[in-house]
Chains A and B, each alone.
Chain A
Amino acid sequence: MKRLSWWLVAVLVAISGITLALPLGHTWPTPQIFWELRVPRLIFAILGGAMLAASAVIFQTTLRNRYVDGGMLGLASGVELGNAVLAVFFAPATPWRVLTGAVWAVVWLLILRASMLRILRQPLQLLLGGLGVAMVLNAIMTLLTSNQGFVGKSLANVTVQDTWLLAIVGIVGIIIWQIAGTTLTYFALPKLHVVQLGIDETRLSLLWQLGAALLIGAVTAVLGTTFFVGLIIAQVIAQVVVKPAQNRLVVTGLLGAVMLSTSDLLAHSVHYPVELPTGAVLMLLTAPLLLILWKGGPHVN
Chain B
Amino acid sequence: MLIKNITLPRDLLTLSEASLPDQQITVLLGPNGSGKSTLLAQLATQIPDCAYLPQHNQSYDALTVGDLLALGQQRAETPVAVDVVAELELTSLLTQDVSQLSGGQQQRVWLAFILLQNAPVILLDEPLNALDLRYQKRVLDLLPQLSATILVVVHDLNYAYQIAEWVWLFTAGEITTGQPATIMTASTLTAAFATPVVVDQTVSGEVIFRI
Which residue of B44, B63, B113 contacts A185 across the interface (Cβ within 8 Å)? B63
With both chains docked as a complex, state the minimum distance between the C-beta of A113 and any C-beta of chain B, in angstroms: 19
Count class of interface residues, chain B:
20 to 34
| Contact across chains for A243 and B62 when beta carbons are under 8 A apart | yes
| Contact across chains for B62 and A242 when beta carbons are under 8 A apart | yes
Q: How many angstroms from the CA of A294 to the CA of B52 in the assembled complex?
A: 37
Residue of A nearest to B74 (CB): A197
With both chains docked as a complex, state the minimum distance between the C-beta of B204 and any C-beta of chain A, in angstroms: 42
Among B53-61, B140-148, B183-191, which stretch is in contact with chain A? B53-61
| Contact across chains for B44 and A189 when beta carbons are under 8 A apart | no
| Contact across chains for A189 and B75 when beta carbons are under 8 A apart | no
Q: How many angstroms from the CA of A209 to the CA of B131 in the assembled complex?
A: 38
| Contact across chains for B54 and A192 when beta carbons are under 8 A apart | yes
- In the complex, whether A196 has a CB less than 8 A from a CB of chain B is yes
- In the complex, whether A244 has a CB less than 8 A from a CB of chain B is yes
Residue of A nearest to B56 (CB): A190
Q: What residues on A are CB-neighbors of B113 within 8 Å?
A: 193
Q: Which of B58, B63, B68 has the most CB of A within 10 A?
A: B63
| Contact across chains for B60 and A190 when beta carbons are under 8 A apart | yes
Q: Which of A189, A244, A245, A301 has the most CB of B within 10 A?
A: A189
- In the complex, whether B139 has a CB less than 8 A from a CB of chain A is no
A242-B97, A244-B61, A244-B62 in contact; A186/B71 too (CB < 8 A)?
A: yes
Q: How many angstroms from the CA of A193 to the CA of B68 in the assembled complex?
A: 11
- In the complex, whether A188 has a CB less than 8 A from a CB of chain B is yes
| Contact across chains for A61 and B61 when beta carbons are under 8 A apart | yes
- In the complex, whether B67 has a CB less than 8 A from a CB of chain A is yes
| Contact across chains for B59 and A188 when beta carbons are under 8 A apart | yes
With both chains docked as a complex, state the minimum distance between the C-beta of A242 and any C-beta of chain B, in angstroms: 5
Contact with B along A168-192 (1 / 0, CB 8 A): 0000000000000000011111101
A197-B71, A197-B74 in contact; A188/B62 too (CB < 8 A)?
A: yes
Contact with A along B31-62 (1 / 0, CB 8 A): 00000000000001000001110100111111
| Contact across chains for A188 and B60 when beta carbons are under 8 A apart | yes
SS of B interface (majority) = mixed
| Contact across chains for A244 and B75 when beta carbons are under 8 A apart | no
- In the complex, whether A293 has a CB less than 8 A from a CB of chain B is no
- In the complex, whether B99 has a CB less than 8 A from a CB of chain A is yes
A186-B71, A192-B44 in contact; A245/B61 too (CB < 8 A)?
A: yes
- In the complex, whether B117 has a CB less than 8 A from a CB of chain A is yes
Q: How many angstroms from the CA of A242 to the CA of B59 in the assembled complex?
A: 13
Q: How many angstroms from the CA of A188 to the CA of B99 in the assembled complex?
A: 11
Q: What residues on B are CB-neighbors of A64 within 8 Å?
A: 60-61
Q: How many angstroms from the CA of A189 to the CA of B62 in the assembled complex?
A: 10
| Contact across chains for B51 and A196 when beta carbons are under 8 A apart | yes
| Contact across chains for B60 and A185 when beta carbons are under 8 A apart | no
Q: How many angstroms from the CA of A301 to the CA of B51 in the assembled complex?
A: 27
Contact with B along A22-61 (1 / 0, CB 8 A): 0000000000000000000000000000000000000001
Q: How many angstroms from the CA of A243 to the CA of B61 in the assembled complex?
A: 8
A196-B44, A244-B62, A301-B99 in contact; A190/B57 too (CB < 8 A)?
A: yes
| Contact across chains for A185 and B71 when beta carbons are under 8 A apart | yes
Residue of A nearest to B58 (CB): A190
Q: How many angstroms from the CA of A185 to the CA of B62 in the assembled complex?
A: 9
With both chains docked as a complex, state the minimum distance between the C-beta of A197 and any C-beta of chain B, in angstroms: 5
In chain B, residues 57-99, which have Cβ atoms closer than 8 Å to a Cβ of chain A? 57-63, 67-68, 71-72, 74-75, 97, 99
- In the complex, whether A238 has a CB less than 8 A from a CB of chain B is yes
Q: What residues on A are CB-neighbors of B59 within 8 Å?
A: 188-189
| Contact across chains for B52 and A196 when beta carbons are under 8 A apart | yes
Residue of B nearest to A245 (CB): B61
Q: What residues on B are CB-neighbors of A149 within 8 Å?
A: none
In chain B, residues 101-122, which have Cβ atoms closer than 8 Å to a Cβ of chain A? 113, 117
Q: How many angstroms from the CA of A9 to the CA of B57 in the assembled complex?
A: 38
Q: What residues on B are CB-neighbors of A244 within 8 Å?
A: 61-63, 67
Q: What residues on A are CB-neighbors of B50 within 8 Å?
A: 196
Of the A-B pairs whose beta carbons lie under 8 Å apart in the complex, a sample of 25, sorted by A's number, is A61-B61, A185-B63, A185-B71, A188-B60, A188-B62, A188-B63, A189-B60, A190-B57, A190-B58, A190-B60, A192-B52, A193-B57, A196-B50, A196-B51, A196-B75, A196-B117, A197-B71, A197-B72, A197-B74, A197-B117, A238-B61, A242-B62, A242-B97, A244-B61, A245-B62
Shortest beta-carbon contacts, A-B, top 4? A188-B61, A188-B63, A64-B60, A242-B62
